[in-house]
Amino acid sequence: MGGAAAYEVALSHFYTDTSPDTYSVLLKFRDPYSANSYYKQYNDRLFSSMEPEKCQVVYVESIEFNADTISPSTIPFTQQVDLEQDDLLSACPVCLEPMDEKSSGLLTILCQHTFHCHCLSKWGDGSCPVCRYSQKPHRSIETESAQTADQTLPMRDSNDENECATCHATEHLWVCLICGNVGCGRYENAHAYEHYRQTDHLYSLEIETQRVWDYAGDGYVHRLIQNAVDGKLVELPSTTEDSNVSASQEKLEAISLEYNYLLTSQLDSQQLYYESQMDQVAAQLSDMRSKTRSLLAEADQIQAENKRLEAENLEKEKQIVEFTKGKEKADKKLESWKEKCETTKAVWLEEKEMTNSLLENNSLLLKCMEDREKAIKELSDQVRDLMFFLEAREKVQGHPELEGGSVETRTPQPRSKRGKGKRS
């Protein structure tokens, strides 16, 4: 169960099936919505990408128990024992906190011990924290122990010479118990530790001494292997020890099988880790796909806008060509008008000079005319005086009595002329 599902499950109970390596789990969820979500998420889902088995999730309508053949303590989802009556049954053996299905999910394993889901998920060992019951598959030790030992424990007397996968060193070699990668130790180039940093594979086996190193705990963990016969913790014997001092063949086979179970549990944890990594990568990939689709849509919009701008640019270039031709024509017209203007200006200057000369001549002529008018006036006065003299002489000659008289002349007063006004 995932971290979110563990809090949604109120109670859970494990059952063994008639077929080997098959288990049934009875889950009680806190609400129907959580049950439906769990069904949609885990039904027909592969347990592992390397195995064909799938998880089958079904709804349970009701459960009937035979009280005569089943102990009441093994019946799941029944009324829990009161906290005041039995503190051992009401407290989680791992965290010693009260087990309340309303606050956290409870998990009952095959040995009928109940724990908090999150407490049991943190228990690194595959056995029960209370009774050390190991929940292992039912396999034949006699038929598979030799194959398991050959597959999991690389011996020094192998025909194939082991070497580092990176620098091809042949001494101080370590083999990864998760993926089988062979790397050199810290006394060479430390490629085994580099492999751990890249993959987070915790356990590595030293080929020479057959000891297991835990990178997370920074120590050897080969002493943590359980004996399948008596359940005690035993140390994996080194290949350099004398065969007479080693344990019996059956005990060694049991140790090898338990060692294989340890690897299987580690592989399961690595599988969960890589599945979470794959989920994260899938989420990132989905996010990248959505971003790619948005970027492609934006690119299409930009491309359409670019085409529109290119069409407008072509239209503007055509207009620029037309405007350039019009400008050239206007420049030619301007040059012709400038030439005409220069010609007209030259003609105007000539006419101006002629006009000035004519004005000067006119002034001279006017002055001459004034002089002539003055001369004519003087001559007219002389003619008038002469005519008056002649008329007076004739009169005197005709009247002798006027001889010796004086003649005076009077200038006539000019009469003022009254202008006739216009009647309104």
Q: How are beta strands 114-116 and 173-176 bridged, if at all?
A: unpaired
Domain-wise residue ranges, the chain: 3-121, 141-293
Instruction: Tell me what pLDDT residue 222 has.
Output: 55
Instruction: Tell me what pLDDT residue 289 has.
Output: 92
Instruction: Tell me what pLDDT residue 6 has.
Output: 58
Flag residues of the chain having pLDDT under 70: 1-7, 16-18, 20-21, 49-50, 65-90, 100-105, 110, 112, 123-126, 132-161, 222-253, 400, 402-424
Measured CA angle at 157 (ends 155, 162), to 5 deg:
70
**Whole-number Å distance between alpha carbons of 224 and 212:** 10
> How many C-beta neighbours within 10 Å does residue 296 have?
10
- Under 8 Å between Cβ of 213 and 231: no
Cα dihedral 79, 83, 86, 88 sign: positive
Instruction: Tell me what pLDDT residue 316 has.
Output: 93
Q: Which of 204, 200, 163 is nearest to 184 (CA)?
A: 163
Instruction: Tell me what pLDDT residue 231 has.
Output: 45
Instruction: Tell me what pLDDT residue 103 has.
Output: 60
**Whole-number Å distance between alpha carbons of 341 and 371:** 44
Q: Which of 93, 77, 74 is nearest to 12 (CA)?
A: 77
Instruction: Tell me what pLDDT residue 88 has.
Output: 42
pTM comes to 0.26
**Whole-number Å distance between alpha carbons of 260 and 150:** 11
Instruction: Tell me what pLDDT residue 84 has.
Output: 39
Tokens 């087990």 found at: 99
Q: Which residues are 182's β-sheet partners?
A: 175
Q: What is the CATH number of domain 141-293?
A: 3.30.40.10
Q: Which residues are 13's β-sheet partners?
A: 26, 108
Instruction: Tell me what pLDDT residue 339 has.
Output: 92
